[in-house]
Amino acid sequence: MLTIFGLGVFGFLFFGMLWRTACRWRYLAECYAVAARGPSLESRGRQSVVLLGMGGFNSLKGIMTTSVHETGVSFRIMAPFSLFHSPFFVPYEHIQGWATTSCFRNSDPVVMA
């Protein structure tokens, strides 16, 4: 009886932690939970992603598959980790770039001898 109770507590804590760590992913999936349109042009597995926002971050290292389509980019978590992580599709119209800076910008060029 104690073993069943211990397994129940372990399962509750394990799945509770998975559900809690997937909150940022679920928030994105609410907006972009659309199936990918058409076949993918290229797909890469074992990608890493960091989700920022809502007072923190999540790092998903090496468990994501990214696919490029003609109309956007789709993201999907690999099988055993995909619980509470539904795949989503981001159209190109919703993707923005930003200016980056470098420590060598507006300075003298680096000369290697």
Strand-pair partners of 11: none
Q: Digits of tens for pLDDT over the chain (113 positions)?
A: 779 999 999 999 999 988 888 888 888 888 888 777 788 899 998 988 888 888 888 888 989 999 999 989 999 998 878 888 888 899 989 888 776 666 655 555 544 44
At 69, list the tokens.
Answer: 């389509």
Annotated domain spans of the chain? 20-93
**One-letter identity of residue 70:** E
Which residue, 92, 97, 95, is CA-closest to 36? 92
- pTM value? 0.71
What's the CA gap between 47 and 66, in Å, rounded? 7
- CA–CA dist 48, 78 (Å, integer): 11
